[in-house]
Amino acid sequence: MANKDDIELLFRTNYKKMLALAIHLLHNEEAARDIVHDIFASILSKQIENVTSAYLLTGVRLACLKYIRSLSIKERINRLYAVDLHEIEDEEWPDDEVVDLINELIETLLPEKTKKIVRLRFTSQMKYKEIAESLSISEVSVYKHLHHAMNVLRQNLN
Partner 1 sequence: MKDKFERIFEAIDYPERYSEQEIQELLEDEETARLYKILNKCADALSDSSDPDIDKEWEKFSKERRKALTGKSFRSLRSFLVHNAAAVLIAIFASIAVIAATISVSKSMRNADYTSTNVPEGAPRESNRDIKTVGNDSIGNTITPYESNEPVIFKNEPLETIITAIANHYGTSVSFHSDASKQLRLYFQWDKTLTLDEVIEQLNNFEQIKIKLKDNIITIE
Indicate whether 35 belongs to the interface with partner 1 (CB under 8 A).
Answer: yes
Give yes or no for a contact between 157 and 98, defined as CB atoms under 8 angstroms apart: yes
What is the distance of C-alpha 44 from the center of its chain?
A: 26
**Interacting residue with partner 1 among 94, 109, 115, 135 (CB under 8 A):** 94
85 vs 94: CA distance, rounded Å = 14
Size of the site for partner 1 (CB under 8 A): 76
Contact between 51 and partner 1 by CB under 8 A: the answer reads no
User: Among residues 52 and 71, whose Cβ is nearest to partner 1?
Assistant: 71
55 binds partner 1 (CB under 8 A): no
Least Å from the CB of residue 17 to partner 1: 10
Angle between helices 139-157 and 128-135 (to 10 degrees): 110
Binding segment (CB under 8 A) for partner 1, from list 49-57, 71-79, 109-117: 71-79
154 touching partner 1, by CB under 8 A? yes
Helix orientation angle between 53-69 and 29-46, rounded to the nearest 10 degrees: 120
Asked if 136 and 150 touch (Cβ cutoff 8 Å), the reply is no
148 binds partner 1 (CB under 8 A): no
What is the closest distance, in whole angstroms, from the C-beta atom of residue 70 to partner 1 in the complex?
6
Of 83, 113, 134, 138, the residue at the interface with partner 1 (CB under 8 A) is: 83
Burial of 17 (0-12, 13-18, 19+ CB in 10 A): middle
